[in-house]
Chains A and B, each alone.
Chain A
Amino acid sequence: QKEVEQNSGPLSVPEGAIASLNCTYSDRGSQSFFWYRQYSGKSPELIMFIYSNGDKEDGRFTAQLNKASQYVSLLIRDSQPSDSATYLCAALNRDDKIIFGKGTRLHILP
C-alpha cells in the first residue's frame, strides 16, 4: 500500500462547477497535508495546506481533513479552464518526510 493514494483520473468537470479531489493516507503519524498543483511540463506549486481536522478555505479552494478516516480532500468552486492541471496530495509523515501521491488529472470543460 502506498503511503498517499489518489485516483489518477482524469476527472472532467464543467466550467463553473465544483471539482472534488480526494486522497487517502496510510501513516496515522502524518500530521500535515498539502495540495500541490502541477501544470504539464512545470514543477509543482503549493496551493493549500491543512493541519487540523475540518475545513480550511482559501478563495475558491477548500481543503478538508478527516484524520480518523485518514482522508484529505480538495474542493475547487467555480472551476475555471485554468484549473486544468494535475493535483498532487502530499503528507508530512511521522519520519518528517514529504510523501506525494501520484496525482489526479483534472480537466475543466469549457
Chain B
Amino acid sequence: DTGVSQNPRHKITKRGQNVTFRCDPISEHNRLYWYRQTLGQGPEFLTYFQNEAQLEKSRLLSDRFSAERPKGSFSTLEIQRTEQGDSAMYLCASSLGPGENTGELFFGEGSRLTVL
C-alpha cells in the first residue's frame, strides 16, 4: 500500500457547479478524516468516519457539503453549488483507530479547489 491517495489533485470550477473529491485511505485504517486548509492556516476539521459511519460533521460546514464512506473503504466529499469561499486545499487523512494511535494521521497530497 502506497499511502493515502486523493483525486483529483487540482480542480478548477465555476461558481455554482458541483465538485466531488475522492480519497482512498491506507487499507487497514479505520478512521478517515477530511480537513480544509487555506493559506496560512492549519487544517480545519470538516468531518470524520469510523469505518462507514460518519461520526461528526463540523458545525461550520454548510449543507452544501456532504461526505460518504460506503463500505468503509474510499470516501467522497461533495460540494454543491460551489462558492468562491470554498477555494482551498481539501486534505484527507486516515489512521488506525480508535485508540492511542488515532491521532497518527497519514495525509494524502490533497485536492486543491479553485472556484472562479
Pairing of A with B: yes
Which residues of A pack against B, CB within 8 Å?
A: 4, 6, 8, 32-34, 36, 42-46, 49, 51, 88, 90-92, 95-103
Whether the Cβ atoms of B110 and A99 lie closer than 8 Å is no
Chain B interface mostly helix, strand, loop or mixed?
A: mixed
Please give, as numbers and ranges, the residues of chain B lying within 8 Å of A98 by CB-CB distance. Answer: 33, 45, 93, 102-103, 105
Contact of B108 among A43, A90, A99 (CB under 8 A): A43
- 26 inter-chain pairs at a CB distance below 8 angstroms, sorted by A residue, are A4-B42, A32-B100, A32-B102, A33-B103, A34-B103, A43-B107, A43-B108, A43-B110, A44-B43, A44-B107, A46-B104, A49-B103, A88-B42, A91-B103, A96-B55, A96-B98, A96-B102, A97-B48, A97-B56, A98-B33, A98-B45, A100-B45, A102-B41, A102-B42, A103-B41, A103-B42
- Residue in A6, A51, A97 with the greatest tally of chain B CB atoms within 10 Å: A97
Scan B89-113; emit 1 where CB is below 8 A from any A CB, else 0: 0010100001010111111111000
Please give, as numbers and ranges, the residues of chain B lying within 8 Å of A99 by CB-CB distance. Answer: 45
Give Cα A103 to B29, complex, Å: 26
Please give, as numbers and ranges, the residues of chain A lying within 8 Å of B43 by CB-CB distance. Answer: 44, 88, 100
Which residues of B pack against A, CB within 8 Å?
A: 33, 35, 40-45, 48, 55-56, 91, 93, 98, 100, 102-110
Please give, as numbers and ranges, the residues of chain A lying within 8 Å of B105 by CB-CB distance. Answer: 34, 36, 44, 46, 90, 98
Please give, as numbers and ranges, the residues of chain B lying within 8 Å of A88 by CB-CB distance. Answer: 42-43
Whether the Cβ atoms of A51 and B100 lie closer than 8 Å is yes
A97-B48, A97-B56, A103-B42 are contacts. A45–B102 as well, Cβ < 8 Å?
A: no
Whether the Cβ atoms of B103 and A100 lie closer than 8 Å is no
- Residue in B98, B100, B103 with the greatest tally of chain A CB atoms within 10 Å: B103
